[in-house]
């Protein structure tokens, strides 16, 4: 039985529209995590967060909203929002490496505040109506820090501990520290999920073989680059990948057109997909996509690029 695959939260990419189109066309993902929900300074919610977790915008998929609290109070407000929207699970972000977030004591800024971690987890886990999970990194400066913190997490009945096998300092680049993850794997009693650079079937198989007892693996950019990856990890194959990508793209275009205003805004949003999608597309074709100024020229560039890309497979 292959490991369960979870779609990582990716702020700016895996919003409700993206998740729904992905799930309809490619699937093979057990759980989707929302990009983090956070509070404004006056403790109000962002409209885009409210839209993103509204159950009406997330039909037919298993969504776990992720929150970015800095203390117990923010945890209470954000978990209330999650429960009011009908969810029975919440994920707490303790891994975001952005300087502003870390400085404010949120995300991976919590890695150096074990007392605040306890306050947040006590608040969240006191809610009997919620399964709580945490997404974290191996450390702030060095990848051995989480091992020291593990006893703190093991005091709580977490549904999952997802570990991105990098440090805060590394942000999203550089080698994942699978050796340090292995040390956690050997001693952890909590259900563990591995995250970081699973970008191919070979990567998935290597992680599954090295860590057979994982509760799952989480993939982020690997799925943005190759949306077939989760299905391929489950042994599925596809005849007409070009049509599936174009269909996916059409669904995104249709939904973003309804939500956003004006050609320029819609095109700008659609072009973000190409930050990652099909990285091996010829340079000149990708350039034609990102430089296009009208919906017509953009569509032609997308259609030609995708067809020519898969014609060579
Ligand atoms: C653009 C971008 C946005 C991200 N947004 C979030 C987020 O909202 N919450 C979170 O926990 N992690 C976020 N991450 C981290 C990813 O969920 C994931 O941990 C990281 O990309 C490593 O996994 P990957 O190598 O499979 O992409 C983000 C990463 C990127 C590159």
Indicate the top mutation candidate among 7, 9, 275 to test ligand 1's pocket, ranked by most ligand atoms within 8 A of CB: 9
Strand order in the sheet with 216-219: 63-64, 31-33, 5-7, 216-219, 192-195, 160-167, 131-139, 89-94, 66-67
Taking the CA of residue 135 as reference, the ligand 1 atom at the shortest distance is: 11
Is residue 218 located within the same domain as residue 253? no
Taking the CA of residue 8 as reference, the ligand 1 atom at the shortest distance is: 17
| Residue 164 reports pLDDT greater than 70 | yes
Residue 129: which pLDDT band, with cuts at 50, 70 and 90? confident
Taking the CA of residue 35 as reference, the ligand 1 atom at the shortest distance is: 8
- Work out the number of other CB atoms within 10 angstroms of the CB of residue 67: 25
If you measure from the C-alpha of residue 210 to the centroid of ligand 1, how many angstroms do you get, rounded to a whole number? 23
Is residue 228 located within the same domain as residue 246? no
Tens digit of each residue's pLDDT (9 = 90 or more) over 208-238 = 999 999 999 999 999 999 999 999 999 999 9
Closest-CA residue, ligand 1 atom 2, reads: 10
Residue with tokens 């794997």: 185
Is residue 174 located within the same domain as residue 110? yes
Taking the CA of residue 218 as reference, the ligand 1 atom at the shortest distance is: 26
If you measure from the C-alpha of residue 93 to the centroid of ligand 1, how many angstroms do you get, rounded to a whole number? 10
- 144: CATH: 3.20.20.70
List all residues whose CB is within 6 A of at least one atom of ligand 1: 8-12, 35-36, 66, 93, 95-96, 135, 164, 172, 195-198, 219-222
Out of 175, 208, 233, a domain closes at 233
pLDDT of amino acid 3: 83
Is residue 290 located within the same domain as residue 181? no
Is residue 225 located within the same domain as residue 254? no
Taking the CA of residue 164 as reference, the ligand 1 atom at the shortest distance is: 19
Out of 213, 233, 253, a domain closes at 233
Taking the CA of residue 162 as reference, the ligand 1 atom at the shortest distance is: 19
pLDDT of amino acid 139: 97
Out of 233, 265, 283, a domain closes at 233
Is residue 142 located within the same domain as residue 83? yes
If you measure from the C-alpha of residue 297 to the centroid of ligand 1, how many angstroms do you get, rounded to a whole number? 31
If you measure from the C-alpha of residue 223 to the centroid of ligand 1, how many angstroms do you get, rounded to a whole number? 12
Arithmetic mean of pLDDT over the chain: 96
If you measure from the C-alpha of residue 294 to the centroid of ligand 1, how many angstroms do you get, rounded to a whole number? 31
> What percentage of the chain exceeds 70 in pLDDT?
99
Is residue 209 located within the same domain as residue 248? no
Domain count within the chain: 2
If you measure from the C-alpha of residue 257 to the centroid of ligand 1, how many angstroms do you get, rounded to a whole number? 26
Give the span between the Cα atoms of 148 and 141, in whole angstroms: 13
Is residue 180 located within the same domain as residue 71? yes
If you measure from the C-alpha of residue 77 to the centroid of ligand 1, how many angstroms do you get, rounded to a whole number? 24
Q: What is the largest CA-CA distance in the chain?
A: 57
Residue 1: which pLDDT band, with cuts at 50, 70 and 90? low
Closest-CA residue, ligand 1 atom 30, reads: 10
Tens digit of each residue's pLDDT (9 = 90 or more) over 238-294 = 999 999 999 999 999 999 999 999 999 999 999 999 999 999 999 999 999 999 999
Is residue 186 located within the same domain as residue 247? no
Q: Which two tokens stand for residue 257?
A: 């057109």
Tens digit of each residue's pLDDT (9 = 90 or more) over 80-121 = 999 999 999 999 999 999 999 999 999 999 999 999 999 999
If you measure from the C-alpha of residue 311 to the centroid of ligand 1, how many angstroms do you get, rounded to a whole number? 31
- The model's pTM is 0.97
Range of the domain at 298: 241-311
**Cα four-point dihedral sign 243, 244, 248, 254:** positive
Residue 313: which pLDDT band, with cuts at 50, 70 and 90? confident
Q: What share of the chain is helix, strand, coil (3-state, %, to 5)?
A: 50, 15, 35
Is residue 122 located within the same domain as residue 229? yes
Residue 128: which pLDDT band, with cuts at 50, 70 and 90? confident
Residue 311 Cα distances to 247, 273, 305, angstroms: 17, 21, 10
pLDDT of amino acid 49: 97
If you measure from the C-alpha of residue 219 to the centroid of ligand 1, how many angstroms do you get, rounded to a whole number? 9
Say if residue 84 is exposed, middle or buried (CB neighbours under 10 Å; 0-12, 13-18, 19+). Answer: exposed
């Amino acid at each position: 039985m292959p490991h369960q695959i979870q779609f990582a939260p990716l702020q700016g990419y895996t919003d409700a529209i993206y998740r729904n189109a992905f799930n309809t066309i490619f699937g093979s993902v057990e759980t989707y995590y929302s990009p983090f929900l956070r509070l404004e300074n006056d403790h109000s919610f962002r409209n885009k967060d409210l839209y993103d977790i509204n159950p009406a915008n997330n039909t037919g998929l298993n969504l776990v909203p992720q929150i970015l609290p800095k203390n117990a109070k923010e945890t209470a407000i954000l978990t209330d929002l999650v429960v009011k929207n009908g969810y029975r699970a919440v994920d707490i972000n303790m891994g975001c490496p952005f300087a502003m977030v870390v400085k404010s004591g949120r995300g991976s800024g919590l890695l150096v505040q074990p007392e605040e971690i306890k306050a947040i987890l006590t608040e969240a886990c006191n809610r009997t109506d919620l399964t709580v999970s945490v997404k974290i990194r191996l450390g702030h400066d060095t990848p051995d820090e989480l091992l020291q913190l593990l006893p703190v997490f093991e005091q709580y009945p977490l549904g999952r501990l997802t570990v991105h096998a990098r440090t805060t300092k590394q942000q999203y680049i550089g080698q994942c520290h699978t050796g340090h993850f292995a040390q956690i794997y050997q001693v952890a009693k909590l259900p563990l999920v591995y995250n970081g650079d699973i970008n191919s079937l070979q990567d998935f198989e290597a992680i599954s073989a090295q860590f057979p007892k994982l509760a799952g693996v989480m993939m982020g950019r690997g799925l943005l680059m190759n949306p077939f990856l989760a299905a391929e990890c489950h042994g599925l194959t596809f005849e007409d990948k070009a049509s599936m990508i174009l269909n996916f793209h059409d669904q995104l275009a249709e939904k973003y057109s309804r939500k956003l205003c004006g050609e320029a805004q819609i095109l700008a949003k659609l072009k973000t997909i190409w930050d990652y999608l099909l990285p091996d597309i010829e340079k000149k074709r990708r350039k034609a996509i990102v430089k296009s100024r009208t919906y017509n020229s953009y569509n032609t560039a997308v259609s030609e690029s995708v067809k020519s890309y898969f014609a060579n497979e």
